[in-house]
Each structure stands twice: as C-alpha cells, then as structure tokens.
Amino acid sequence: MKASIAIAVAASFLFSASAFAAGEEDMLKTKGCIACHKVDGKSVGPSYKEVAARYAGQKDAVDKLVDKVLNGGAGVYGKVPMTPNKAKVSPEEAKTLVVWILSLK
C-alpha cells in the first residue's frame, strides 16, 4: 500500500513538473522571448541555460533578472541590448519565467 502511494505521488510530481515546464515554454513563445533566446544555444541573446549558469547561486538573481526582463539591459552578454518587455510581460509573468530559467541545468 505504501509503495503504491509513493508511486502515485511520484507520478503526480513528474506530471506536474512537465506541465509546469510546458506552461513556461508556451509563455516564452506567446511573449516573444524566443525571438532572441533559445533554451540551449546562442541566438541574438544568450541561451536560457547560459543565463541559469551565470546566475547560479546568486541570492538576488530572480530580482535582477525580472528587472532585466521588464526594463531591458545591456553589456552583460555583449553589445546587443535586451529591449524592455514591460508592455508585454507582467511582473508576475517575468518572475515565473525567471524562476523556470534559473532551474535549467
């Protein structure tokens, strides 16, 4: 009985984790993020995995990156600036995306 409960809990977690990722990936498309970024591999901007690696372990990473998503930035990954996105992305959406990006390995 305990084993079947553990399996059910694990299956539920795996399903919800994949649903979570699918939601963020859909948001990346609808908000236009994929025009300049890929999960893995450089495009106009850095890959999300590159961002996750750069900010790994930084306590203020979420706040820093939410600010960059909303207000834009320049100079961290080269000369091409990141344009502001606050007209298309709410602070809550930005935080959801940033938390997902930072979870990438």
Distance CA 53, CA 75 (A): 17
DSSP state of 83: P
Q: pLDDT-based confidence at 9, cuts 50/70/90?
A: very low
**Residue 89 near residue 98, CB atoms below 8 Å:** no
Question: Domains plus CATH for the chain?
Answer: 2-102 (1.10.760.10)
Q: pLDDT-based confidence at 8, cuts 50/70/90?
A: very low
Average pLDDT for residues 66-74, to the nearest whole number?
A: 96
pLDDT-wise least confident of 20-24, 30-34, 42-46, 52-56: 20-24
Residue count (the chain): 105
